[in-house]
Chain A
Amino acid sequence: MFRNQYDTDVTTWSPTGRLFQVEYAMEAVKQGSAAIGLRSRSHVVLACVNKAQSELSSHQKKIFKVDDHIGVAIAGLTADGRVLSRYMRSEAINHSFTYESPLPVGRLVVHLADKAQVCTQRSWKRPYGVGLLVGGLDESGAHLYYNCPSGNYFEYQAFAIGSRSQAAKTYLERRFESFADSSREDLIKDAILAVRETLQGETLKSSLCTVSVLGVGEPFHFLDQETIQNVIDTFEKVADEEEGEGEAEPAAPAEEGGDGTGDQDVAPMET
């Protein structure tokens, strides 16, 4: 984007009807490391790439538990993301306390969006520089939403935000139609594969990604490194044998000792 004349104040319109400060805030989201979300009818998986400032430091926390039935993954200014996560936790727990019932995720995202909108209409504020992928349950099942610095929110079957998210989106676009009826395991596998897309060639290791799951009868929790590595192992070898993305049947050098479940997509484990 080029420098514009009408971009000093969030409350100044451009002649073409744009609020540049809001659009710049959305740029900040694109600079953050990738976050991915997908959902089936009963589960939502949130995954992200672990980016660390340097080799010496730990990676930033980008996925937060909001309640047993709601999680959020962020991309952009993580400090803004933390503040909004705290707000979401507060809303969820207040609702829980008053009504002894989980706050429907659809209502939470509207509160969040309204909060973001306020910052686009006050001259003494700035928009939040963070995009949020909110996954959660309500009466009608599992939902995934994307909340934007502009105050807009959208519902998705699957989405990716942050740097190199386009590669993940392309992968998800090809496969999203099957997600609604996906099993929990397939959903997790697709999430990790989507993360791999954003790494653009770098080898996928469990230390590089964080994965969280929530669903009907399953409260929000993070998957441990071992579980993630096991999923990676089921497809990493297959990826070596063919070009491009996605899983396929194992190639010609027949490897014995499969896991015996008859599942075509899972490559046999090597000892």
Chain B
Amino acid sequence: LVQFTIPIDNGDALKNAEADSQRTLYPYVTGTSIVAIKYKDGVLMASDMGGSYGSTLRYKNIERVKAIGKHSLLGASGEISDFQEILRYLDELVLNDNMWDDGNSLGPKEVHNYLTRVMYNRRNKFNPLWNTLVLGGVKNGESYLGMVSMIGVSFEDNHVATGFGNHLARPILRDEWRADLSFEDGVKLLEKCMRVLLYRDRSAINKLQIAKITEEGVTVSQPYSLKTFWEFQAFHNPTAGAQGSW
């Protein structure tokens, strides 16, 4: 039986003032959007490798998409240390599952629901894990893609995105996503979304990874960067319309 402990073992805030200082109040090192889609053979998930410290783009080699067990991928945006904590919980979960050694294994649906329970319970204690999580996977030929937010809102869809991705990437996906996307077309579609995010999201950096999960297993690409174009006429004389006297 899996148990997880919340890192507060000195009582609650009613009895002990110091306990209050251990609750999550605001995030410090954060990751930006994750974009993920189902495609013909499984699920594709893209993220950049940035970890922002407020407005500083401080860390540039953070892997925000990880494999979970044999059948799932987890992508996270939000507080990086909370993501690492979640990976520890899932590590224990997968370990216990493997120790049974009985031919049963946790699929993406089970992992998604476990995470929903964890996130919602933390939210109820006013001590959230400050992440929006994307869980994708394939088991027995069936693709699965879902999302959980820091307040425990959870759902499945054919394409999901977190943070800015919801505003900039989802509209593209709503127009252009199809169930029978090939791997190449899926990657092109994700790159299109990630390029828009790179132009418009100030916390995005030009170093991304795309992860793929199929019945065969997980592959995470090497980091690479997108080609960008900055020679639009509208940007040539940016201050043209804003001459001032001071």
Q: Tell whether B231 is near chain A: CB-to-CB under 8 Å.
A: no
In the complex, the answer to whether A107 meets B113 with C-beta atoms within 8 Å is no
Listed stretches A63-71, A95-103, A195-203, A259-267; interface member: A95-103
Listed stretches B9-17, B72-80, B84-92, B97-105; interface member: B97-105
Give CA–CA (A139, B106) in the complex, Å.
Answer: 11
In the complex, the answer to whether B103 meets A101 with C-beta atoms within 8 Å is no
In the complex, which residues of chain A have a beta carbon less than 8 angstroms from the beta carbon of B18?
none
The tally of residues in B whose CB lies under 8 Å from a CB in A reads 12
Q: How far is the CB of A87 from chain B (nearest CB, A)?
A: 13
Q: Tell whether B155 is near chain A: CB-to-CB under 8 Å.
A: no
Give CA–CA (A106, B107) in the complex, Å.
Answer: 17
In the complex, which residues of chain B have a beta carbon less than 8 angstroms from the beta carbon of A106?
100, 102-104
In the complex, which residues of chain A have a beta carbon less than 8 angstroms from the beta carbon of B107?
101
Give CA–CA (A106, B103) in the complex, Å.
Answer: 10
In the complex, the answer to whether A99 meets B110 with C-beta atoms within 8 Å is yes
Instruction: Give residues 98-129 of B contacting A (CB, 8 Å).
Output: 100, 102-107, 109-110, 113-114, 117
Q: How far is the CB of B112 from chain A (nearest CB, A)?
A: 8
Q: A99-B110, A100-B109, A100-B110 are in contact. Are A107 and B104 (CB under 8 A)?
A: yes
Q: A100-B109, A101-B109 are in contact. Are A140 and B114 (CB under 8 A)?
A: no
In the complex, which residues of chain A have a beta carbon less than 8 angstroms from the beta carbon of B113?
98-101
Q: For chain A, what secondary structure do more than half of its interface residues adopt (helix, strand, loop), or is it mixed?
A: mixed
CB closest residue in chain A, given B2: A98
Give CA–CA (A98, B100) in the complex, Å.
Answer: 18
Q: A98-B114, A98-B117, A99-B114 are in contact. Are A104 and B109 (CB under 8 A)?
A: no
Q: Tell whether A138 is near chain B: CB-to-CB under 8 Å.
A: yes
In the complex, which residues of chain A have a beta carbon less than 8 angstroms from the beta carbon of B102?
104, 106-107, 138
Give CA–CA (A99, B113) in the complex, Å.
Answer: 5
Scoring A residues 182 to 224 as 1 if CB is less than 8 Å from chain B, else 0, what string do you get? 0000000000000000000000000000000000000000000
CB closest residue in chain A, given B105: A139
CB closest residue in chain B, given A140: B103
Give CA–CA (A100, B117) in the complex, Å.
Answer: 10
In the complex, the answer to whether A104 meets B104 with C-beta atoms within 8 Å is yes
Q: A100-B109, A101-B109 are in contact. Are A139 and B104 (CB under 8 A)?
A: yes
Give CA–CA (A100, B114) in the complex, Å.
Answer: 8
Q: How far is the CB of B95 from chain A (nearest CB, A)?
A: 15
Q: How far is the CB of A101 from chain B (nearest CB, A)?
A: 5
In the complex, which residues of chain A have a beta carbon less than 8 angstroms from the beta carbon of B105?
139
Give CA–CA (A135, B114) in the complex, Å.
Answer: 26
CB closest residue in chain A, given B106: A99
CB closest residue in chain A, given B1: A111
In the complex, which residues of chain A have a beta carbon less than 8 angstroms from the beta carbon of B109?
99-101
Give CA–CA (A104, B101) in the complex, Å.
Answer: 12
Q: How far is the CB of A199 from chain B (nearest CB, A)?
A: 37
Give CA–CA (A138, B110) in the complex, Å.
Answer: 14
Give CA–CA (A109, B110) in the complex, Å.
Answer: 20
Q: How far is the CB of A159 from chain B (nearest CB, A)?
A: 20
Q: How far is the CB of A115 from chain B (nearest CB, A)?
A: 12
CB closest residue in chain B, given A101: B110
Q: How far is the CB of A50 from chain B (nearest CB, A)?
A: 35
Instruction: Give residues 89-129 of A contacting B (CB, 8 Å).
Output: 97-101, 104, 106-107
Q: How far is the CB of B3 from chain A (nearest CB, A)?
A: 12
Give CA–CA (A139, B105) in the complex, Å.
Answer: 8
Q: Can you list 23 A-B contacts with CB-CB less than 8 angstroms, sorted by A residue number? A: A97-B117, A98-B113, A99-B109, A99-B113, A99-B114, A100-B109, A100-B110, A100-B113, A101-B109, A101-B110, A104-B102, A104-B104, A106-B103, A107-B100, A107-B102, A107-B104, A138-B102, A138-B103, A138-B104, A139-B104, A139-B105, A140-B103, A140-B104
9 other A-B residue contacts (CB within 8 Å) besides A97-B117, A106-B102, A140-B103: A99-B106, A99-B113, A101-B107, A101-B109, A104-B104, A106-B103, A107-B104, A138-B102, A138-B103
Q: Which are the 4 A-B pairs with shortest beta-carbon distances?
A: A99-B110, A100-B113, A104-B104, A101-B110
Interfacial residues, chain A to chain B (CB-CB below 8 A)? 97-101, 104, 106-107, 138-140
